[in-house]
Amino acid sequence: MALQWKTQNFTNLLLFFSFFFTSPISSLQFSINVWPKPRAFNWPHPQATLLSPNFTIISPHRHYLSSAVHRHLRRILTENHSPLLDPSLNISSSAVPLQKLVVKVADLSAPLQNGVNESYTLDISVTGSASLVAATAWGAMRGLETFSQLVWGDPLRVPVGFSLWDAPLFQHRGLMLDTSRNYYGVEDILRTIEAMSMNKLNVFHWHITDSHSFPLVVPSEPELAAKGAYGDDMQYSPEDVRRIIKFGMEHGVRVLPEIDSPGHTGSWALAYPEIVSCANMFWLPAGYQWEDRLASEPGTGHLNPLNPKTYKVLKNVIRDVTTLFPESFYHSGVDEIAPGCWKADPVIKSFLSNGGTLSEVLEIFVNTTFPYIRSLNRTVVYWEDILLDDTVKVRPEFLPREHIILQTWNNGVNNTKRIVSSGYRVIVSSSEYYYLDCGHGDFLGNNSLYDEQANGEYKNGGSWCGPFKTWQTVYDYDITYGLSEEEAKLVLGGEVALWSEQADPTVLDARLWPRASAMAEALWSGNRDETGKKRYAEATDRLNEWRYRMLNRGIGAEPIQPLWCVRNPGMCNTVQEIQ
């Protein structure tokens, strides 16, 4: 796969240099707003033409691609987007109305999987025709989204004499949603996937289960959801899963399931109390030190790796999940093992008293489950804790690099460096930059941290990962910072994450957007201009426009500035550093 990706990048580079030999035109200068910003485009004589009332898209017939073509054609003809600032482009006297967009795809059979080629070129001529040439159907979908954002006004207009080449910098551009702590309906998930596609994100990481609830109906273990879900109306049936996956395919978004274990499994105890240690116990009893906690937050329970029945149930779950989800990655979790939980279990306590260690308990679990997941032809994703935790971790010899990907969430670029320098591929979700739930306080009651007058100091409002991650913080994060060229090749990409202790459908869109859009551009085309300078100032104007367009498309994205700033360009910028 690594060789395939390298070859693909080389091919893309040849396309870039052969297709574009002039400097790209600034999108700000002529108010052409596309998000994420394309890698390179050429527009020597900025002008526009009308879109014909009979405009159509001619494309190869391919199930998911055809669905995307129909969806984008409908949007192009009906959106009538009115920009916040008029582009002030002259309608070309020589260009005829644009009649059609012709889509050509080199490989219609390429599956939607990690590393698939998403490159495309788009050419809009003055002769009434436009062409979109893509390596795969998934690249064609990205190009269709770009074209849809180029159309505006009533009557509809589109730039002409315009060409671009585009491809992502990173192959994995994801969004993680936790549906255990609070439940999200299927429509909420579909709307999120649709917004992801608009932003050229391509992986929906579905953290389905946790200690708080087990909402997924597993056919061979139906009691897990029957007893572990919040209610009969807060479950995901196999039909719901198939609908979500199909919708994802139609939008070029993979659906990556995560069944977290052995920690974060308290909800399993409602169906199988005998396989779960420390279930339903208070998470941090009075007098306990933090290192002896039973969980890192309320909601206790770890699967017991020393109970054979654990694997009977868990393997049923893994088998059914891999049957339901065609995705080649399976996320197995293995984060936040709380030593106190396993120490509270009599069987594990006996194992420890005979010279065993907690890390050996975890290794027993991994050495039993990992081969089974691999036997189902899956690459296994684990959270970084499995390798980097200070107390309970697995030795590298039990974690084959060719079959495992680690997802980092602590300590920023430092942990990314530790992972890639050990030879592992990595997905970056550094909480300091990419955790979108941070900065909203905490959900613990009876917490003196909030009484800041008495404490005499500011405590980030009680949020463990505060402050709030602004879109600028997300946008400016360089996920390969400090890595060598070879180490950077092991960075597959990144994911923003929304943990749901204090989120549910009522705030979903605003928590995600447009901050997830910021990561989407940084991972697609970067956060720097042609000179290497961070382009957050130029991005502000485009993100304002893009947020407004998302609103009109039914995505409840939060504002990033007063409308006054948009109407008065440059007046809300800084011209010097503010201390």
Q: Which residues are catalytic?
A: 336
* Residues 391/418, Cβ–Cβ less than 8 Å: no
Query: What's the half-sphere exposure (Cβ side, CA atoms, 13 Å) at 272?
Result: 21
How many residues are there in the chain? 579
Buried b or exposed e, range 533-557, using 16+ CB within 10 angstroms: eebbebbbbbbbbbbbbbbebebbb
* Residues 244/255, Cβ–Cβ less than 8 Å: yes
461: left (phi over 0), alpha (psi -120 to 50) or beta: left
Pair of tokens at residue 510 = 């605003």
Identity of residue 454: A
For strands 254-261 and 203-209, give the pairing.
Answer: parallel
For strands 276-277 and 329-333, give the pairing.
Answer: unpaired
Neighbours of 347 (CB within 10 A): 13
Candidates 64, 66, 130; CA nearest to 99 is 130
Candidates 541, 492, 579, 482; CA nearest to 114 is 492
Neighbours of 231 (CB within 10 A): 9
Strand order in the sheet with 47-58: 40-42, 162-166, 120-124, 129-136, 98-107, 47-58, 157-160
Identity of residue 352: L
Q: If DSSP states are collapsed to H, E and C, what string results for 524-577?
A: HCCCECCCCCECHHHHHHHHHHHHHHHHHCCCCCCCCCCHHHHHCCCCCCCCCC
